[in-house]
A and B are shown apart, each in its own frame.
Chain A
């Protein structure tokens, strides 16, 4: 079945630095890749997603890149701020698959030090 590997499991950066989280997936049919942010004690929230017909998507300080050939995608956060501290989950799914589901990576705990 589909498997999503996420690295690193923990990441510590200084405020203002960039942070990069990488995920690889196993099912070449996967075509939808969301990223969720979960702050301590709170519910996960979608921060950005990408579909396989594009290679990159940006939203202010956040960007996601997708390499379909290598089957990996990455989250890039620039100019990090303390409020970016959270656990980030990548996931993969297949649009249109009637029995598809959403497979998550194990998460990356990002700490931004002021």
Chain B
């Protein structure tokens, strides 16, 4: 099976702009979760979607939002970008709901905010 894919792989934006990242899960996986990875904070959970519904949400401001489509593909949107949003954004998929199952990670999208 093809692995989790994310597009774009690299992105440069300026403060105040918004950005949309895309994630395609492994075929048959219906859960998609998003994570932010930074050198200072490590890996932080953003949210999980399953069957087009948000099941879990981490401690991030409302500028971070997401959605999932009927084919399980997911998008994450960040509005009003701040310098601190520069990070590697990873998505992960799982065949069943719940982040307490093995997460299969994608390669990530490297976002740089200038």
Binding site for B on A (CB under 8 A): 1, 32, 34, 36, 43-46, 49, 89, 91, 93-96, 98-107
Is B90's CB under 8 angstroms from A104's CB?
A: no
Q: Which of B42, B55, B90 has the most CB of A within 10 A?
A: B42
Contact flag A98-B102 (CB < 8 Å), given A44-B43, A105-B42: no
Interface size on B, residues (CB 8 A): 22
Nearest chain A CB to B49 CB, angstrom units: 13
Is B102's CB under 8 angstroms from A34's CB?
A: yes
Contacts of B44 in A (CB 8 A): 104
Tell yes or no: B80 within 8 A of A by CB: no
Stretch at the interface among B15-23, B62-70, B103-111: B103-111
* Residue in B99, B106, B108 whose beta carbon sits within 8 Å of that of A101 in the complex: B99
* Residue in A45, A89, A100 whose beta carbon sits within 8 Å of that of B43 in the complex: A89
Nearest chain A CB to B44 CB, angstrom units: 7
Binding site for A on B (CB under 8 A): 33, 41-45, 48, 55-59, 90, 98-100, 102-103, 105-108
CA distance A102 to B59 in the complex (A): 11
CA distance A32 to B99 in the complex (A): 10
Contact flag A45-B99 (CB < 8 Å), given A101-B58, A105-B42: no
* Residue in B42, B98, B107 whose beta carbon sits within 8 Å of that of A89 in the complex: B42
Contact flag A44-B90 (CB < 8 Å), given A93-B99, A94-B100, A104-B44: yes
Is A100's CB under 8 angstroms from B99's CB?
A: yes
Contacts of B108 in A (CB 8 A): 43
Is B99's CB under 8 angstroms from A44's CB?
A: no
* Residue in A95, A98, A106 whose beta carbon sits within 8 Å of that of B42 in the complex: A106
Is B100's CB under 8 angstroms from A93's CB?
A: yes
Is B100's CB under 8 angstroms from A100's CB?
A: yes
Cβ contacts A to B, 28 pairs, < 8 Å: A34-B103, A43-B107, A43-B108, A44-B103, A46-B102, A49-B102, A89-B42, A89-B43, A91-B43, A93-B99, A93-B100, A95-B100, A96-B98, A99-B57, A100-B56, A100-B99, A100-B100, A101-B48, A101-B56, A101-B57, A101-B58, A101-B99, A102-B45, A102-B100, A104-B42, A104-B44, A104-B45, A106-B42
